Amino acid sequence: MERINRLLILTLAFALGIPADTLRMRDGTTVNGDFMGATWDDIRFSVNGEIQHYARTNVAEIIFSGATVDAPGPASPVPAAPAAPASSEPDWVVKGPDYAGAPFLRGASGFLALEREYASQARSTGVYGMGGATVYRIQGGRSNVRVRQGQKIVFVVRFEGGGDARQFQLLRLESRMNYRQTPATMGGGSPGVPLTIQKVGDSVYQLTPARALPAGEYAVSASNSNDSYCFGVDY
């Protein structure tokens, strides 16, 4: 599967209460409407009340005029059991993302896919090049999926055939010139940011960072997988 950062450059302009979003196509044309959701290869956009489908390879940028995106993250330590479904959530949140098993950022009217990368195990360099700790590295020094510091971040994940939202961790990454990696100075501890988990529908969960995220690079990853769903926080 091609990496999301090669398929789509995302610009997020978040402001509450303003409906219209914009697709900027690679041929220079634009489409105005409302973002309704996305999978790895398809973007759903409501144009004049009708749902249209656009291939991600044809889209250069999505500009969200009225989205407040909530971002995902893995939990450490393991959070308490999810609460009962929240009936106050919109129907599209309760239904969950089209793509199961992956965390999505929650926007005002749809879900935004994170940059999907594979984290490879490596050994960090210790003192005088000796020793070092095990780290996980992701290609590229910076994610092209960005949110603003202080913005509320919420992730939504839907499972099929069972799943445990507590398997996800939100990891802060150290950014290097051409890769990102988990910190090597944790003394065997987890580099995860604690998450609050809430069940909002049938096999649908919201994951919210337990504290505000400082500027930097992050990834949401399941403890039993090397797939990493990446984003960055800007000042």
Sign of the C-alpha dihedral computed for residues 220, 221, 222 and 227 taken in this order: positive
How far apart, in Å, are the Cα atoms of 125 and each of 136, 142, 180?
A: 13, 21, 15
Three-class DSSP labels, the chain: CCCHHHHCCCECCCCCCCCCEEEEECCCCEEEEEEEEECCCEEEEEECCEEEEEEHHHEEEEECCCCCCECCCECCCCCCCCECCCCCCCHHHHHCCCCCCCCEEECCCCEEECEEEECEEEECCCHHHCCCCEEEEEECCCCCCEEECCCCCCEEEECCCCCCHHHEEEEEEEECCCEEECCCCCCCCCCECCEEEEEEECCEEEEEECCCCCCEEEEEEECCCCEEEEEEEEC
* Residue pLDDT, tens place only, 53-89: 888 778 877 776 543 333 333 333 444 445 544 447 8
If you compute the radius of gyration of the chain from its CA atoms, what whole number of angstroms results? 18
> Does the model's pTM come out above 0.85?
no
* Residue pLDDT, tens place only, 18-36: 446 788 888 889 998 887 7
* Residue pLDDT, tens place only, 96-114: 999 999 999 998 888 999 9
